[in-house]
Amino acid sequence: MFEILKKLAAGSFGSYEMNDALERAIYHLKDIGYVEVGRIRDIPYESNNLSDYVKVTDFGKQFIELRKSVEEESKS
């Protein structure tokens, strides 16, 4: 799910096919406030860029930065 969030934050998620796992991940990310999206069911089943339909919130971006910093610290 973190990888999905990072790709969305980059603004270039790329091509996708909406499957159950991706849909659940988007619902979860929306529920915890990391992404903004209208009605998830209105997102096309497949398209060139999921980032056109799902936007990462400031809260989601903060989480990404926090997690990256924790990962960097753990490598040291």
The pLDDT value given to residue 75: 83
- Write down the pLDDT at residue 22: 97
What is the biggest distance separating any 2 CA atoms in the chain, rounded to whole angstroms? 44
Q: Which domain holds residue 37?
A: 2-75
Q: What is the pLDDT of residue 10?
A: 95
Helix, coil or strand: residue 33: coil
What letter does residue 20 receive in the DSSP assignment? H
User: Using an 8 Å Cβ cutoff, are 22 and 53 in contact?
Assistant: no
* Chain centre distance of CA 17: 14
Structural domain tally of the chain? Answer: 1
Q: What is the pLDDT along the chain (76 residues), one digit of tens a residue?
A: 999 999 999 999 999 999 999 999 999 999 999 999 999 999 999 999 999 999 999 999 999 999 999 988 888 7
Chain Cα centroid distance, residue 14:
12
